Amino acid sequence: MEYLKVTATGYDFAPARAAMQRYIDNNLLSGISSAVMVGRDLVDVSCVGWADKEAQIPLRTDHIFRVFSNTKLITSCAALLLLEEGRFKLDDPIEKFIPQLGHRKVLRLGATSLNETEPAKSSITIRQLLSHTAGLSYGFFDPGTVIFKALNERGVHNPNTTLADMVDVLSDLPLIYQPGTSWEYSLAIDVVARLVEVISGQTFDKFIQARILDPLGMVDTGFVVPQKDQGRLVAYYAGADLMEPMKPGLTRTDNAPFPGAYLRPVARLNGGGGLVSTLPDMVALIRSLLPGGPTLLKPETIALMMSNQLPEGQWIRFAMMGEQPGKVHGLAGGIIQTPSAIDHPDAAGEFYWGGVAGTQWWVCPKANVAGVMMAQRQMAFVHPFSFEFKRMAYDAVRRGR
């Protein structure tokens, strides 16, 4: 794996590795792989802990991870490739391509049933889909709400249904706010995956294979792990207590999000969270967005992708965490406008996102730092280990300069 060779020396990541080892020793993580770049040069590659804790299989760089919402970066890049070809404009209404998503209704504030709606004041735009401001929801993070119940009763996440089927479910349901007026993490990027299919005339998996995975040499990224490679798929764990992330204890949960996930093809080509990948593949993807070499997208497209798309004063927010002041959203991920107390001060301008199981990527143009970290613990997108690793990575780069 020549492309994972450290090419810039003088950076000490021993403290970061020791910190991650403590999470493993305290039974909070099974293992974590990471790679950090300064510019396009790798300054550290590390695998700490186990791919399979019970079998005591050490984690290697070729192990395969469920990357969940890291998939969104690939889906957004797929759409932006079509944007560069002039196949759509960011402010095109979605009904231009997917007619059943036009003429929306919106739930009234405080609605207790799906019938309590008002007409949408404007169409959903592709820009709003890419930035999660379309008024859609997910049906994961807001239990007890009218829309959560409706989405799940109608099987919006059913893996045996296609992206086209998913759009049909969404077409009959109201939005949760007027398009462009708020931010809600949502199925919007899955809608973008369907948009890619409609515009390109290819299934989503075929499009990303031809236009992103093959050109970048991402040989282990896909919706299914081939049988010959299933021994490289790392074990998946749930923590002891969702509300206490630092409570020791891990329970094997390989059959999440559904039995046999990633081991056999299913109809749903989940553009919001369906891919598996490896550390080398994710490094190849992130490097393709960095200046100083060949890039997947044009520099002006990458700059647009990393620019805030939210209205002034609007921050991203999550049901269990609330609003996150200082954090906004671009066309393919979050942006740290103002670092919080748990972010490194050098992270201003960082472009980032990650998966629910603890796989993450980040690019900070101002600090000239980028990285990938990969773990497999349920609900670990905001686990303390990820913030600690990134702070220590920034520190290591600062010390090495």
Average pLDDT over residues 179-203: 97
Does the pLDDT value for residue 1 go beyond 60?
no
**Residue 382: predicted pLDDT:** 87
Token digits of residue 297 = 């997208």
**Per-residue confidence (pLDDT) for residue 321, from 0 to 100:** 78
Mean pLDDT of 34-54: 98
What's the average model confidence in pLDDT over 6-17? 95
Model confidence band, residue 58 (pLDDT cutoffs 50, 70, 90) = very high
Question: Mean pLDDT over residues 64-93, rounded?
Answer: 98
Q: Check residue 235 and report its DSSP letter.
A: P
* Whether pLDDT at 146 is above 90: yes
Tens digit of each residue's pLDDT (9 = 90 or more) over 203-232: 999 999 999 999 999 999 999 999 999 999
CA dist 4 and 223 (Å) reads: 23
- DSSP 8-state class, residue 208: H
80 has a pLDDT exceeding 60: yes
Q: Which of 350, 349, 360 is nearest to 382 (CA)?
A: 360
d(CA 382, CA 340): 13
**Least confident interval from 304-308, 323-327, 379-383:** 379-383
Percent of the chain whose pLDDT exceeds 90: 94
pLDDT value at residue 370: 98
Q: What is the pLDDT of residue 2?
A: 59
**8 Å CB contact between 151 and 137:** yes
Average pLDDT for 137-161: 92
Short-list 158, 57, 137, 53, CA closest to 377: 53
Please tell me what DSSP assigns to residue 311: P
pLDDT of residue 135: 97
- Predicted confidence at residue 272, as pLDDT, reads 98
> What number does CATH give the domain 88-202?
1.20.58
Please identify, in words, the CATH class of the domain defined by 2-71+205-400.
alpha beta
pLDDT of residue 263: 97
pLDDT at 270 over 80: yes
DSSP 8-state secondary structure symbol assigned to residue 108: P
Average pLDDT over residues 99-106: 97
**Looking at residue 141, what is its pLDDT?**
81
Residue 169's pLDDT band, with cuts at 50, 70 and 90, is: very high
Q: What is the mean pLDDT of the chain?
A: 96
For residues 145 and 307, which has the higher predicted lDDT (pLDDT)? 307
d(C-alpha 109, C-alpha 182), whole Å: 13
Percent of the chain with pLDDT over 70: 100
At residue 133, the pLDDT reads: 98
Number of H helices, E strands in the chain: 11, 16
Domain limits, the chain: 2-71+205-400, 88-202
| CB environment 144-166: b (16+ within 10 A), e (fewer) | ebbbbebbeebebbbbebbbeeb
Cβ contact 69:332 at 8 Å: no
On the question of pLDDT at 322 being above 90, the answer is no
At residue 378, φ and ψ (nearest 5 deg) are -55, 140
Q: What is the pLDDT of residues 189-198, one digit of tens each?
A: 999 999 999 9
pLDDT at 320 over 60: yes
Please tell me the predicted confidence (pLDDT) of residue 401.
79
